[in-house]
Structure 1
């Protein structure tokens, strides 16, 4: 049984507005570069690497954007809940509900690379509890399940 909490899924301009609001509420600035990186990140339907994002932002801006700069901004986006990092792929995906803080579970297709995001607070809380019992603090569960999606099966 999966526990779901309901949140508004944003897309397009609504997603950019929600991301900007979330970032500024966290005390950070919504700069032109951060906006450009988020806009490109939000266009990907599957997790994207910093290099993929840097290439597209470079094309849009007409000048090279270094992947290291993109990594720093993506790290900020993960910290402020604007993006999720798919650890096993070293790739990122925009969070479609940046105002809602929770742990994510990714189902990642080994064939096509799509990542489906699930919310299951009961499962992630169990992981947090087990880590706490083992003496870990500030636990941030990263749960990724690899397999084959229904489209590729």
Structure 2
């Protein structure tokens, strides 16, 4: 338990890991889903469904409706391929789609970057606290607003 390090995928290996994770759930890796995942994965900051729709529309040469993008992003979130950064109403690709962790995001209020950290000890405490209240936590998402190392004053 506790925090740990594991291999974070990027580029083609991230796309393969995402495709594998989705197909393992019995879902198809369609060209549209691949396009949306690629558009999400190439961004370093949480991105809105509208920005993803614009990027995919430009790449495919025809308009993609934001509602279609939302549906696919919801599938990605439920399949652990992406995470929704609640405070920004935006999405970020999961760099390790095979691992199930509760998410902790450090969100920079200056540049918008979201740093994803795993700390199972901390999130287990959140789940236990919820249980003591008779609440069953489905998937805690913890967000800490502040300033990243690049934006914070030295």
TM-score computed with the length of structure 2 as normaliser: 0.96
SS of residue matched to 1:99: coil
Q: Residue in 2 aligned with 1:124?
A: 123
Q: Residue in 2 aligned with 1:6?
A: 5
C-alpha RMSD of matched pairs (Å): 1.1
Deviations 1:70-109 (A, max 9, x none): 0000000000000010000000000000000111100000
Q: Residue in 2 aligned with 1:66?
A: 65
| Cα distance in structure 2, aligned partners of 1:138 and 1:111 | 30
| Cα distance in structure 2, aligned partners of 1:114 and 1:150 | 11
TM-score computed with the length of structure 1 as normaliser: 0.96
| Contact 1:49-1:90 at 8 Å conserved across structures | yes
| Cα distance in structure 1, aligned partners of 2:122 and 2:36 | 32
| Cα distance in structure 1, aligned partners of 2:104 and 2:137 | 18
- How far 1:138 sits from its partner (Å)? 4.4
SS of residue matched to 2:100: coil
Aligned pairs, number:
152
- Which runs of structure 1 show a deviation greater than 3 angstroms over 4 or more consecutive aligned residues? none
- How far 1:132 sits from its partner (Å)? 1.0
Deviations 1:100-150 (A, max 9, x none): 011110000000000000111001000000111111124311100001111
Alignment gaps of 5+ in structure 2: none
Deviations 1:8-46 (A, max 9, x none): 110000000000000000111100000000000001000
| Cα distance in structure 1, aligned partners of 2:11 and 2:123 | 29
